[in-house]
Structures are given as C-alpha cells and as structure tokens.
C-alpha cells in the first residue's frame, strides 16, 4: 500500500519524477467549478436512488461549496502528488468532512467524471464565444449601415476589379462569421451530451438514474454507450475545427486591415489604441492587433491537428493519452475568444478614408465591365463587347487616361454604338447602383442585407 488513493495494490510509491510527469493538476485545475458542479449533481442523484443518505448528500454538497469558495479565494493548496483536479478536490473533501467524503466517488470513475467536466466547461465557453462573435457581427452591421454608400475598389488577384461599396465588403466578413456561429452552435449540440454514468468503461452496478444528473447538469441527452462515453473526444476536435475556420476568417480580415492601414493603400484609420510603435523608428504605428490575430491562427490549426493525432489509434475505452486533450482545447478556446474580443472592440473604431478609397476605385479601369454591359444593352454579343472594351483600355493605358476621362469621340473609335449616355455607366455610383439584386453591392442592397443581419442576430 502507498499513500495514493489508488495505492492499495502497489508495493512502492510512484517515482517522484513519474508523479510529476503524469500529473495534470497544473492545467486541469481550470475545470474546478465544473468538477464541483458535476460532483454535486452526482451526490444528489446518489441520494435520490438511496445509495447515499440525505444527510450524507448535504454534508458532501456543503463541503464541495466550501472548497469552491476556498479555490476562488486563492486559498486552496493544489498538490501535484494528488495528480489532477478531481483527486485534489476529493481529497480535500475528505479532509473537511471525514469519511462521508470517501463516498462521493461511488458509482463513478474519473473517466466519466473528466469527460463530463470538459463538456460542461466547453459548453459554457462556447456560449461566451458566441457572445463575442455576435458583438463583432453587430459592429460590422453598424459600420456597413453607416458606410453603405462609400465606394472602394473591389479586388480579384489583388488587382482592381470593379467598384464595390465599403458596406458590402464589411458584410462579406459578416457572412463568414454567421457561418462560424452556425458551426459552433451545431458543435454545441454534440458537446451537450452527458457521459456521466459510464463509470470507468462498462457502467456501474449501482442503481444510478442518469436522467437525474442529466437534468441537473442541463445536458440534452445521456451518451448511449459507456465505452464510447468515456473515450469520445469528437466534440473537442469539432470545436477545434470550427475554431480553426473562425481563426482563418479572422486572419483574412487581419490581412486586409494590415494592407489597408499601410501608407500604400491608406484606406482606413485604425485608432492608436489598437496599435503600437517602434523602439527605433519614431514614425511607426503598427497594426499589432490584426497582425497578432493573423499569427495566432497557426496555433489553433495546430491544436486541431494535435487532437486528431491524439485520438488516432486509441483503442477503446479510456487511455491516459486523453489527458493530453486539455491543453490544446484550452488554448484553442482562449485564442479564439480573445481574438474575437479584440476584433469586436476594434471593428466599430475603424474609419474609412472615403476620398482615398474613392480615388483608388476610380483608377484601374474598374468600370470596364460596366462599359461592356452597356454595349450588350445596345445589342452587341458580350464577347465582342469584351474585346472592344479591351481595346479602349489598351488606349487608356497608353495615353494615361481612365475610361471616364476619354471624350465621346475618343470612345467612339472603338464602337459607334457608344453614345453620350455612356458617361452615366462609367461613374462609380452608376456602377455600384446597377448591381441591385440580392447579394449585390448596391447601397440599397447593403441596407437590405444589414436588415437581414439584424434579424438574424435577433433584432
Ligand atoms: N487526469 C485524467 C485526464 O485528464 C483524469 C482521468 C484519469 N483516469 C485514470 N484512470 N487515470 O484524463
């Protein structure tokens, strides 16, 4: 026998380094609140089915609540020799309330306990993340509404393509985030299943009532197979997959913000509070927040791959490998939540430089497609129009003039179908206003999309 709670069959104490090497308390103590919540539900259920007396249940619950207060006051002595959060709390409970504390673990294993704790914890974190996502989405809607008519160049291949409204561009980001929110809400459904009652792997001989704990803990359903219940970490992988996608989106926004704040683009102003300076170059104002978020996407992709690899080849049921699920999951949650928070704070503060954007949209023959469409309306086949406008652009490149700067005679060299009314379609307003269908860039459509977005977010 050793002094460990599982030491009965051991004839020597665990090696000191092995004890530290196998311990998880340094990081899993983060689960303390959910561990206590799960234990309170378990004790309540055990009393209900007659395995514990009501007095024992009360003693256990009181003890656990005091331990929670101790932890939150920073007075709890976390012991590495007690391995993990579960055994630390259980040992402390027995210190406090004596022999009854030793009854809490009846009909339960750390295997179903830890799987339950992580799910309770992740469910709460997903709700916080969904709140930050929504805050960011609302900020985008406000900005899109305010700047529905601001015109900027739209790009493909990072080359000027066609004019778009700034509001429309912001709403593209909104759409990406709406999919992220949908994915996280869907992932939450599978997080919200309760493995408690699976015990070590095969279930338990006690007359447990899983529906009681399920209801107390607010789970949607109990897991249907005890072997799967203790070993399933799909929900954590799914979360990391959804988080990786969301970080990829934030990284793309970041890249655009970094480009747009450069003096070469100079499209937006990012307030000083989201930037830092240089220790050597006095003129510098660097867009650190977007750069850092772009960089942080890497670790979340890594955690997704880490968890997939962790689970690959694990035989049923619980294996100690699973202890390695926590750090990647915790870090993925922290990284996504903090990145969203930074963006939700920052996006309402960005200011478009309307004149610079407009000037950039005017350059680069951004209304060339509009001219081709104009000729189609005059009865020419589109491919011919494409070629005609191509010649006009070539002339423009050679003479340093944009299409709208050419005279009518100059334009008519390329097609006698071109008439005075061409100049309306060559304006930026003409171009964006003409794309007036659902999903198009016209200011009227931006406003309609903002209204739909507000509805989606619940008013
Ligand atoms: N600390 C462990 C984990 O994080 C708890 C479960 C350990 N169970 C066991 N039989 N060793 O997964």
Distance 274 CA to ligand 1 centre (A): 42
What does the alpha-carbon distance between residue 210 and residue 212 come to, in Å, rounded to a whole number? 5
How high is the pLDDT of residue 9?
87
Gap between the terminal Cα atoms of the chain: 63
Residue from 195, 323, 326, 328 whose mutation best tests the ligand 1 pocket (most atoms within 8 A of CB)? 323
**Is 157 a known active-site residue?**
yes
How high is the pLDDT of residue 8?
83
CA-closest candidate to residue 353, choices 151, 145, 164 = 151
* Minimum CA distance residue for ligand 1 atom 2: 323
How high is the pLDDT of residue 279?
84
What does the alpha-carbon distance between residue 51 and residue 41 come to, in Å, rounded to a whole number? 14
Check if the interface score ipTM surpasses 0.85: yes
* Minimum CA distance residue for ligand 1 atom 4: 323
Catalytic pick from 157, 263, 313, 437?
157
Quick check: bond before 317 cis, omega within 30? yes
Pocket of ligand 1 (CB under 6 A): 24, 28, 84, 110-111, 114, 320, 322-323
How high is the pLDDT of residue 194?
98
Using CA atoms, how far residue 59 sits from 39, 113, 203, 374, in Å, is: 12, 20, 26, 82
Handedness of CA 206, 209, 210, 214 (dihedral sign): negative
Catalytic pick from 53, 262, 278, 399?
278
For the chain, 459 residues long, the average pLDDT of each consecutive 10-residue run is 80 93 98 98 98 98 98 98 97 98 98 98 98 98 98 96 97 98 98 98 98 98 98 98 98 98 96 86 89 98 98 98 98 98 97 97 91 95 96 94 92 95 93 96 98 93
Mind listing the domains of the chain with CATH numbers?
Answer: 7-106 (1.10.275.10), 111-358 (1.20.200.10), 365-456 (1.10.40.30)
Structure tokens at 239: 């979360």
Distance 279 CA to ligand 1 centre (A): 47
Q: What is the dihedral of CA 233, 72, 339, 296, to 10 degrees?
A: -60
Partners of 103 in the β-ladder? none
- Are the beta carbons of 457 and 138 closer than 8 angstroms? yes
Distance 90 CA to ligand 1 centre (A): 14
What does the alpha-carbon distance between residue 82 and residue 31 come to, in Å, rounded to a whole number? 15
Long-range contacts at 430-437 (CB < 8 A, ≥ 24 apart): 430/367, 430/370, 431/162, 431/163, 431/366, 431/367, 431/370, 432/151, 432/163, 432/164, 432/165, 434/370, 434/373
- Are the beta carbons of 32 and 71 closer than 8 angstroms? yes
Distance 440 CA to ligand 1 centre (A): 53
What does the alpha-carbon distance between residue 432 and residue 457 come to, in Å, rounded to a whole number? 27
Distance 321 CA to ligand 1 centre (A): 9
* Minimum CA distance residue for ligand 1 atom 12: 323
Q: ∠28-113-187 over CA atoms, to 5°?
A: 80
């Amino acid at each position: 026998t050793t002094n460990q709670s599982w030491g009965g069959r051991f004839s020597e104490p665990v090696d000191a380094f092995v004890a530290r090497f196998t311990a998880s308390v340094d990081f899993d103590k983060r689960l303390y609140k959910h561990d206590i919540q799960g234990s309170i539900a378990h004790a309540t259920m055990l009393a209900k089915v007659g395995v514990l007396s009501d007095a024992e249940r009360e003693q256990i619950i009181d003890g656990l609540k005091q331990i929670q207060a101790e932890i939150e006051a920073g007075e709890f002595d976390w012991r590495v020799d007690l391995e993990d959060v579960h055994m630390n709390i259980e040992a402390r409970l027995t210190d406090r309330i004596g022999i009854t504390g030793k009854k809490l673990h009846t009909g339960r294993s750390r295997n179903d306990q830890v799987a339950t704790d992580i799910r309770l914890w992740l469910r709460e974190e997903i709700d916080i993340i969904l709140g930050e996502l929504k805050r960011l989405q609302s900020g985008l809607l406000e900005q899109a509404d305010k700047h529905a008519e601001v015109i900027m160049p739209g790009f493909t291949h990072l080359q000027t393509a066609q004019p778009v409204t700034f509001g429309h561009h912001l709403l593209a980001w909104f759409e990406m985030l709406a999919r992220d929110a949908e994915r996280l809400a869907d992932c939450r459904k599978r997080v919200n299943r309760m493995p408690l009652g699976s015990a070590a792997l095969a279930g338990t001989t006690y007359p447990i009532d899983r529906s009681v704990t399920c209801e107390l803990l607010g789970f949607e359903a109990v897991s249907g197979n005890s072997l799967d219940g203790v070993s399933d970490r799909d929900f954590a992988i799914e979360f990391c997959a959804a988080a990786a996608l969301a970080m990829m989106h934030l990284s793309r926004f970041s890249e655009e913000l970094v480009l747009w704040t450069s003096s070469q683009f100079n499209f937006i102003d990012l307030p000083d509070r989201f930037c830092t300076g240089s220790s050597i170059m006095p003129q510098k104002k660097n867009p650190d927040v977007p750069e850092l978020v772009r960089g942080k996407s890497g670790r979340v992709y890594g955690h997704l791959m880490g968890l997939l690899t962790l689970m690959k080849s694990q035989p049923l049921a619980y294996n100690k490998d699973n202890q390695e699920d926590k750090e990647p999951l915790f870090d993925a949650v922290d990284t996504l939540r903090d990145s969203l928070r930074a963006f939700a704070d920052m996006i309402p503060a960005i200011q478009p430089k309307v004149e610079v954007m407009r000037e950039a949209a005017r350059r680069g023959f951004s209304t060339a497609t509009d001219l081709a469409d104009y000729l189609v309306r005059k009865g020419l086949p589109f491919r011919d129009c494409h070629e005609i406008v191509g010649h006009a652009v070539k002339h423009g490149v050679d003479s340093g003039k944009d299409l709208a700067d050419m005279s009518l005679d100059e334009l008519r060299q390329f097609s006698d179908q071109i008439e005075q009314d061409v100049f309306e379609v060559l304006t930026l307003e003409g171009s964006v206003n003409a794309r007036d269908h659902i999903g198009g860039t016209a200011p009227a459509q931006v406003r309609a999309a903002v209204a739909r977005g507000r509805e989606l977010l619940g008013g």
